[in-house]
Every structure is written in C-alpha cells, then in structure tokens.
Amino acid sequence: MSITLDADFPGGNIIVESVDGDVVTLRQDRRDTPVWWFYWAFRARGMGGRTLTFAFTDGDVFAALGPCYSADGETWRWLGRGRVAETRFTHSFPRWQEAAYFAFCIPYTHRQLRAFLAANPAVERGVLCTSEGGRAVERLSLPSATGTRTVVLTARHHACETMANYVLEGILAFRQADEPDAAFLREHVDLHAIPFMDVDGVERGDQGKSRAPHDHNRDYTDAPRYAAVRALTAWAPAWRGDFPLMLDLHCPWIRAWRNEDVLLVEPDGVDRAAQDRFRALLHGAQTGPVRYDRRHLLRYGEDWNTAGETSTQYFRHTLGAGAVFTVEFPYATATGVAVSAENARRFGYDLGRVIGRYVMGG
C-alpha cells in the first residue's frame, strides 16, 4: 500500500513535496501569511509496519516538545524534542496501524468545542455573525442574575493558536463551579466569549498570524475588514452594567525564552493599579501545574508590543474596560511543565477564580 499524506480534515495544513521510499519531504502551508510561520497538521495513511522520516523544507517548525502525535485524531501526545534532528523527525508504525495524525501542537477546532458544549449545557450558544467563508462565528454566554458587570473573553484572533481554547474552556468551567468566587460571578457578572474570532482560519488550518493585509487582531479600526470584528464591536456597546475586565487569549512564538512562560501583555494607556491588582491575584490564586509569575509582563512599547489597532486596545480605549490583557499561553512547555489540554484547562480554571476575585474587588 502506498503512503499518502493529506490535510483534508478540520485544522489540517500541509504541502507534500515528495515521497521517496521511506522519506517524505513536506512543508507547512503559509497561504496568505507573507512572513515565516510554523503551524502544520497532517494525516498519514498506508504506513503500517514502516519507519518513515518526515523532512520539512521551510525551517524548524517544531515546538519545545517536538511534534504532536495521535493515532486516532482524538488523543494527542508530544513525541519529544529528542525525536527531532534539525528539521526532520522519524517515526515507526506498527503493522496494524492504518492512519496516524501529526501536528505542530494539540489541535482545537469545532470538534473539540462541540464536545465541550455538550458537556456544559449551561453555556448559552448563539451566533455573532456569518464569516467570510459562510461559517457561523459562535458567541458563548453565561448571563448572571443581576448583570451589574460584564467580562468578555476572546480567542483565536490568530487561527493557529489552539491552546487558547483549552484555557477558555477552563474559565467557562469555573464559572459553573461550586466555589464562592464562581457564585459571585453567577450572581453579578455576565460572561461573554468568542471562541473563534477567525473561524474560517481555524477550520481551514491557516496560520492566521500576520495574514495579509492584516490579521483579525489588527482589524480594530474605524472600518474593520472582517465580519467577526465588525459584529463584536457592534454588539459590545449593548452589554449590561460596568465593564471591569477583558482578556484576549493567545499563544506566543514557537518556543524558547519567554515563549515558554505564561505572559501577560498590556495595551497602551492602562489603569496601572487595576492591572497590578489582577496580576497579583493571579500570582497568588493558582492551584494547577502551569503557573503565572507576576514578573512575566510585557508592557506596551516593549519588544513586539507596539500594535495600536488590537482587540485589547479597542476594549480599553473605546469601551473603557478596567483591566485588559492579552494572555499568551505556550504551545508545549510552560515554565518547565509539559503543556496538555488538561493543564491548560486547569490554568483557565484558575483564571476564572481570579476573574471572580478581581471583579469582587478582593
């Protein structure tokens, strides 16, 4: 049986250049991302009983723990950076195996979102708008009893940043927990979330970051290009109550340095006291294995944090949100801990607790 590789599944992304014996030459599909980026995901078939080498031709596209692997497309594990030699990795398949999946990171598409929503029926599911590709841009809500305050969460402004959604799941799960901070949220805080700001990119397996002429998180202008941004900025002014907090969930650069720490990124013109109080609460309220250290802060104007037309800038300056952060959650390792779907959710659960304490004023 001949070896075949494809990206014909949600989130798939690969260009196969050649198959020569046991060596597959391939590269990530950048599509309309003009700068170098690193996301890829593919399915292999017809490889049972063989040892194959997958050689990438467009740079080192591996996270801190090497490639991610699944035998069924459902359960994923890191193969380890030791499996990588320069820009290639090798994998041996048992004779019985008919298919396997490999990816840059743990995937998250509508498949995972549907499973989460099925297990959490209290989360109200609506439609923000229809995307350019004809897909529903979903909006999730957990309304409170009084609606005196509103908190908004966004994710996947950059389509490839999958771990952000597992963090979002954790926040939404905490909101339903039997804890005092969660009870306060249920009484007073309307929680709104947009899980896929770039839903077309998520399903197509796009890079999304730095999409030409600009990506979704550089679209908060007087005339937004993308339907999701237009709809969100039209809907947000109608929310109930005060607006104390906005979090935009992301993943950082591929690996190394602070890209392997949870990092909070500030927009311009923040309320310094509010920002510092949120960071202090997060530093002290964590219970999961992945931890945020309050020293990990990127202020506006530092390094790459200079863009002025982002979601956090909009929510701070146009809607007057009290505390506003981009949360960068690493792809593979976070302060020495191997990242998984479960511990990303645990970090989100801790974030949910901090949201409650911050809004309460504690």
Residues 89, 63: Cα–Cα separation, whole Å: 12
Crossing angle of the two packed helices 180-188 and 341-360, in degrees rounded to 10: 70
Here the CATH number for the domain that contains residue 14 is: 2.60.40.3120
* 33 and 126 part of one domain: no
* 140 and 224 part of one domain: yes
Peptide bond between residue 195 and the one before it cis (omega within 30 degrees of 0): no
Here the CATH number for the domain that contains residue 324 is: 3.40.630.10
Crossing angle of the two packed helices 272-284 and 341-360, in degrees rounded to 10: 130
Q: Which of 103, 136, 159 is the endpoint of a domain?
A: 103
The whole domain housing 93 covers 4-103
Q: Do 84 and 67 touch, CB atoms closer than 8 A?
A: yes
pLDDT tens figures, 231-240: 999 999 999 9
* 327 and 287 part of one domain: yes
Both tokens assigned to 130: 């229809």
* 71 and 116 part of one domain: no
Residues 362, 357: Cα–Cα separation, whole Å: 5
Half-sphere exposure of 133 (CA within 13 A, CB side): 12
Both tokens assigned to 107: 């995937």
* 249 and 307 part of one domain: yes
* 283 and 174 part of one domain: yes
Q: Which of 72, 103, 134 is the endpoint of a domain?
A: 103
Burial of 3 (0-12, 13-18, 19+ CB in 10 A): middle
225-260 burial code (b ≥16 CB/10 A, e <16) = ebbbbebbbeebeebeeebbbbbbbbbbbbbeeebb
Residues 296, 275: Cα–Cα separation, whole Å: 13
* 121 and 196 part of one domain: yes
Q: Which of 36, 71, 103 is the endpoint of a domain?
A: 103
* 210 and 83 part of one domain: no
Residue 42 confidence (pLDDT): 98
Q: Do 36 and 30 touch, CB atoms closer than 8 A?
A: yes
The total of structural domains in the chain comes to: 2
* 324 and 185 part of one domain: yes
* 75 and 157 part of one domain: no
* 120 and 65 part of one domain: no
Q: What is the pTM of this model?
A: 0.98
Spans of the chain, pLDDT less than 50: none
* 215 and 286 part of one domain: yes
